[in-house]
Amino acid sequence: MNTFFITTPIYYANGEPHLGHAYTTTVADVLARYHRLMGHDVLFLTGMDEHGQKVELAARERNTSPQDFVDQMALAFRALWERLGISHDDFIRTTEGRHQHVVTEALQRVYDAGEIYSSDYEGWYSVYEEQFFTEKDLVDGKDPIGGREVVQLSEKNYFFKMSAYQEWLIDHIVAHPEFIQPVTRRNEILGFLRQPLGDLCISRPKARVAWGIPLPFDQDYVTYVWFDALLNYVTAAGYLSNEKAYSRWWPASCHLIGKDILTTHCVYWPTMLKAMGLPLPETIMAHGYWLVDAEKMGKSRGNAVEPLDLVESHGVDAFRYYLVREMTVGQDSTFTVESFQARYNGELANDLGNLVNRSIVMAERYVGGRLPVVDPLHPDLDPLRLRAEETASTIAQALPAYDTVAIVEAILSLVREANRFIEAKEPWALAKDETRRSDLETVIYGLGETLRQLALWLAPIMPEKSHAIWNQIGCEGDVANARKDALVWGGLPGGQSVRKMDPLFPKVDLEESATEESTEQTEEQGMAEESTTISFDEFQKLDLRVAIVKTAEKVEGADRLLKLQIDLGSEERQLVAGVAQHYEAESLVGRRIVVVANLEPATIRGVESQGMLLAASADGQLGLLAPDSDLPAGARVS
RNA sequence: GGCGGUGUAGCUCAGCUGGUUAGAGCAGUGGAAUCAUAAUCCAUGUGUCGGGGGUUCGAAUCCCUCCACCGCUACCA
C-alpha cells in the first residue's frame, strides 16, 4: 500500500500559537486527509519543541517549572488543533522519553563514528537569542537580530562535522529536484551551499542551560536545538524503537515547513541523517508567510479582526477553506477580511451553499424527498459526470504538486457546472409536466450524485460541512471514512430520503462579531520570532533629507499647523507641520530641518503636504531635528 | 555587489518543454430565469503579455539588455 508520511515542524513552546502555526498545520491536515481519501496509508505528525533557554526563562518568569510550562503550552496547541479539526496521528513532544532515547542514542552513534568533536568557542553571546555572534556581527555592541545585550563568553562546546557533507549534499539536491520545493527555495539553498559550510555547534553547557537532553558522552552538556528538535521526525517514525513502523514510514514523504526554517531542514537535517546512515526525506516543502493587513482587517471601523477570530464568526471549515484556497503553497499571501468575505460569500455561500440548498429543496418539493433510482450513465447527466471526472483527474495531478489552489478550483468548477445544469434543465418546468417525470427524476438524481461527489472532494478541506452535505443526501456513515472507490461516478444508489438542514454557509455580519482592537500595521506571521525591531533594509526605505525652510505661514483655521515651503536642493516642496504651538512661523524661515522626503503626500486641512518634518517631543516640549553643521539642502540622512 | 525569482485585463492570478482570434475567478455593464441563503445563469474586455533589441516561418513562452519589486547572500551603514 502507498504510504504518505507528512510532518509539520514541532512548534517552539515559548509562545502562543498563531496564524502561521495554524496555516502549516491546516495544510498538512488537508494533504493528509486527501491521501487517506486516495486510499494511502497516512502518518500525520505534529508536535512541540520544548527544550532550550527561552523555555527555561519563560517558565521562570511565570514562577513555574519548565515541564509545567511546556505542559501548558502543549495544551494550548492541542486545543487549537482540536478547534481546527486537525487529524494528526501523533503529537510528539521533545520532552518525552521516546524522543530523549533517540536523541541520546543518535548522538552516541555519531560521536562513536568520529563525527563530533569538541572545541573552544569564543564570542559574544546573546542570552535571548541563545546564540553566539562574532565581533563584526554586532550592531552597536548589541546582537544583530533583536538588538539585545550580549556578553563575551568563551566555552568548550561540541561540534558536528557538517562541513564534511557539503559536496555530498549539493549532489543530492542537484540529483533530486523534488527534494526542496518550491524551486526558488531550492535555488536559495544551492546558493547558500556555494559558500563553505561550517560545522554545527550541537551543545550548550549545563551550567548555562540546564533544560535539555544531556549529551551521552559528556554529562556537563545538553543538546542544542537542532540535534534535538529535528530528530523528532525519526523518533515518531519508530526509529530505534519499532523497526516495523520505522521501515514502513521512514523516509518521510514530506516535511512541510515555513520558509523561515529552510536552512535547518535543507542543510542541517540532511547532513545529520547522512551521518546517522539514514535515508533523506523525499520532499521538504517550504510555504510562505501570511501578511496580515491590519488596515484591511476592519480597522477603518475601529474594530480590527484577528484572523483566528474568523473561526468563531464564520466557522472552522470556512477558515480552513480560506487558508488553502487563498494561498498558493510556497508563495506569500495577504490575509484580509475583504478577501475572506469575498471567498465566503461568493464561493461558499452563493455557489456551494446555495447549490446544496436549492438541490435539496427541489428534491423535497418535486419528487417527495426521495432520491430517484436512475441510471447514473444516462446521457442527460453527461455534463455533470464529465465534469466530475475532470475534477477527479485535476485533483489527482494537483495533490502531489501540493497545489491546494488548483484542488479548490477543480471542485468549484464542479459546483458551477451543477448550477449551470439546473438552469439548463429547469426542474421547476419539468415538475409542471407529468409526461416529463422521468426527465425530472434524472435531473434530481444527477444533482444528488453531484452533491455526493462534492462532499467527498470537500471532506479533506471542510470536514464538518462536507459531512452535512453527506447527511442531507441521505448517505450513511462518516464521509471522512470514504475511500477511493466511493469516488466513482454513480455511487449514489438512489431511494434514500433527503434531510434538509439549515443553510451551510449563512451570511455573516462581521461588524457585530468583530471586537478586538488592534494597533498593528502589516505584520508578518511566520514561525520566526516576532521582533519589534526593523531591519536595515526597512530603515533604508526612508528617504530622510536636510531641507531649508524658505517660507512659513499659519494654516487658516488650524491652530497647530504651519505651511512650509522648503528647499530640498533639487526641488522645492510644500509641507504641513504640526508645530505652530511651539514655533512662530517667522522663526523657522532659513532654518535647516530634517524631513521624510518620500512620504506619500497627504492633504491636511485642505493643504497638501509633500513630506514630513521631523521633531522630537516629550512632556509637551518639542524640538526640531537639525544637522549639526550647515549642510546643503537635500543632503541625505543615514 | 553576487545568486535567484517576479512583473499577463480594474483586482487576485493560470498560461509546461515556442504554434489556431492570450485565459479563469472577482469587480463593472446589459439581459434571462425564479427551485434557492436577493442565491443562479447568459452575454460583454481596443489587455503595448514591464521597456528595448535579437533568434524563428511564428514568442507571453527561447536569448541579450534595461527598469521596478521581492527573496537569499556579501559588504556598508
CA of A97 to C1' of B6 (A): 47
Distance A540 CA to B76 C1' (A): 12
- Which pLDDT does position A525 carry in this prediction? 33
Q: Report the alpha-carbon distance of residue A64 to residue A578 in Å, rounded.
A: 49
Residue A136 has pLDDT above 70, yes or no: no
Identify the weakest region by mean pLDDT among A98-102, A127-131, A185-189, A317-321. A127-131
Of A92-96, A201-205, A236-240, A619-623, where does mean pLDDT reach its minimum? A619-623
> According to the model, what pLDDT value does residue A637 have?
77
Chain A residues 130-169 with Cβ under 7 Å of strand B are: 136, 139, 144
pLDDT at A584 over 90: no
CA A503 – CA A465 distance, rounded (Å): 10
Is residue A515's pLDDT more than 60?
Answer: no
Q: What pLDDT score was predicted for residue A117?
A: 95
Contact A612, A637 (CB under 8 A): no
* Whole-number pLDDT of residue A412: 96
Average pLDDT in chain A: 87
**Do A306 and A37 contact (CB within 8 A), yes or no?**
no
The spacing between the Cα labelled CA in A186 and the C1' in B16, in angstroms, equals 19
Enumerate the nucleotides of strand B whose atoms come under 7 Å of any protein CB: 2-5, 13-14, 24-27, 33-37, 39-42, 71-77
Q: pLDDT tens digit string along A337-362?
A: 889 999 999 999 999 999 999 999 99
CA of A410 to C1' of B26 (A): 17
Average pLDDT for residues A34-60, to the nearest whole number? Answer: 95
Long-range contacts of residues A170-176, Cβ cutoff 8 Å, at least 24 apart: A172/A270, A172/A280, A173/A266
- Contact predicate A133/A143, CB 8 Å: yes
Can you give the residue ranges of every domain in chain A?
Answer: 1-94+288-334, 336-487, 534-624
Is pTM, for the whole model, over 0.95? no
Give me the mean pLDDT over the A572-587 stretch.
76
Q: Is the CB of A422 under 7 A from strand B?
A: yes
Domain formed by A534-624, architecture: Beta Barrel (2.40)
- SS3 of A351-373: the string is HHHHHHHHHHHHHHHHHCCECCC
Question: What would the pLDDT profile of A456-471 be if each residue is shown by its tens digit?
Answer: 999 999 999 999 999 9
What tens digit of pLDDT does each residue of A295-329 get?
Answer: 555 544 445 568 888 999 999 999 999 999 999 99
**Homologous superfamily, domain A1-94+288-334:** HUPs (3.40.50.620)
Tell me the backbone φ, ψ of residue A160, rounded to 5 degrees: -95, 135
pLDDT at A79 over 90: yes
Reply yes or no on whether the pLDDT at A27 is more than 50: yes
Distance of C1' in B19 from CA in A591, Å = 67
**A546/A580: higher pLDDT:** A546
Domain covering A336-487 in this structure, CATH number: 1.10.730.10
Instruction: Give CA–CA dist A2/A553, Å, rounded.
Output: 78
Residue A96 — pLDDT band, cuts 50, 70, 90?
Answer: very high
pLDDT of residue A498 exceeding 70 = yes
Report the run of H or E that residue A453 belongs to, with start and end.
Answer: helix A437-458
Question: What are the C-alpha distances in Å from A43 to residues A91, A399, A486, A518, A598?
Answer: 11, 16, 22, 39, 52
pLDDT (0 to 100) of residue A519: 29
SS3 A48: strand
The proportion of chain A whose per-residue pLDDT surpasses 70, expressed as a percent, equals: 86
Distance CA A399, CA A329 (A): 12
Question: Cell 529535528 maps to which residue?
Answer: A230
> Are A336-487 and A534-624 in the same CATH fold?
no
Name the pLDDT band for A389 (thresholds 50, 70, 90): very high
